[in-house]
Amino acid sequence: MRTIADVTRDEVEDFLFLEAELLDEWRLKEWLALFTADGCYYVPATDVAPNASPDTSLFYVADDRFRIEQRVERLLKRTAHAEFPRSKTRHLVSNVRIRSRTTDELDVGAAVITHRTKMGLTETYIGSYRNRLVLTSEGLRIREKRCVLDMDGLKPNGRISIIL
C-alpha cells in the first residue's frame, strides 16, 4: 500500500492544480470533497504571524469543516449577493514544494496569485498556501488549507467573497 512517504511533488502539484481548476470553474461541491472530515480553511489577517491561531487572533477566514460546507452552500445561492452574478476567477499556483512530511501528513508550500473580475474591475490576491495534506484511499486530501496573504490588508480588494 502506498504511504505518505511515497507521495511525490508532481502528485502534490497535480492536486493543487486540480483544486485551482475546481475553484475557477465554481465546482465547489467537488472542491469540498477534497477536504478530510476534520478539514479546515484559514486566511489570517495580514498583521498577524503566518502560523497564528484563529482561537486567539483575528482572521479573515477561519472555517472548520461545517463552516466550509456552509460557505460552499452560500456561494451556490442567488442570495450570496457579493457573488451574484458570480466573479470570474483564476488561481495561478506555483513554487510548489513539500516542505516536510510526518508519518501521516505532508506540509506543502506554494505561491498563489488569484485574479477576481467582476463589474469590469479586476482585483488580485497575492499569497502563499501552507497546506497540510493526508493520503486516503481516494488519494490526497486537505486537512488544513491556509492562505497567507502577502499584502498590506485587502487593498484595493474589499472582500474575500471567493475562495482563495
Partner 1 sequence: MTPAATAEQAAVWHDAEKQRFKVARRSFVSPQILRDEYRTIFDQCWLYLGHESELLKNGDFVTRVVAKRTLLFTRDAQGKVNAFFNACPHRGAQVCRERKGNAKSFQCFYHGWVFGSDGALKSQPASDCYPEDFNADGSANLVAVPCLDSYRGFWFVSFKRDIESLADYLAGAKEWIDVVADQSEAMMTIVGGTQEYQIRANWKLLTENSIDGYHAINTHATYVDYLKNSNGSMSPVPFEGTGYDLGNGHAVIEYRAPWGRPVAQWIPLWGEDGKVELAKVKARLVERFGEARAERIASGNRNLFIFPNLVINDIMAITVRTYFPTAPDAMQVSGWALAPQEESAWARKYRLSNFLEFLGPGGFATPDDVEALEQCQRGFENLLEAPWSDISKGMKKEKVNYDDELQMRAFWTEWQRRTNARAGI
Considering only residues 121, 124, 126, 150, which one is a binding residue for partner 1 as defined by CB under 8 A?
Answer: 121
Min CB(125)–partner 1 separation in Å: 11
122 binds partner 1 (CB under 8 A): no
Of the pair 8, 79, the CB lying nearest partner 1 is at 79
Of the pair 59, 115, the CB lying nearest partner 1 is at 59
Min CB(57)–partner 1 separation in Å: 4
Determine how many CB atoms are found less than 10 A away from the CB of residue 54: 18
Query: Sign of the C-alpha dihedral, residues 67, 73, 79, 84?
Result: positive
What are 89's three cell numbers? Answer: 476567477
Min CB(144)–partner 1 separation in Å: 16
Of the pair 111, 154, the CB lying nearest partner 1 is at 154
126 binds partner 1 (CB under 8 A): no
Q: What CA dihedral angle connects 131, 135, 137 and 141, to 10 degrees?
A: 0
Distance CA 38, CA 56 (A): 20
**What residues contact residue 136 under an 8 Å CB cut-off, 6+ apart?**
36
66 binds partner 1 (CB under 8 A): yes
9 in helix, strand or coil?
helix
The 73-92 contact track toward partner 1, x by CB under 8 A, reads xx--x-xxxxx---------
51 binds partner 1 (CB under 8 A): no
Q: What is the bridge-based pairing of β-strands 35-44 and 139-149?
A: parallel
Q: Strand 88-101's sheet: what is its strand order?
A: 59-63, 35-44, 139-149, 121-136, 106-118, 88-101
Q: Which residues of the shown chain bind partner 1 in the complex (CB under 8 A)?
A: 43-48, 52, 54-62, 66-67, 70-71, 73-74, 77, 79-83, 119, 121, 152-161
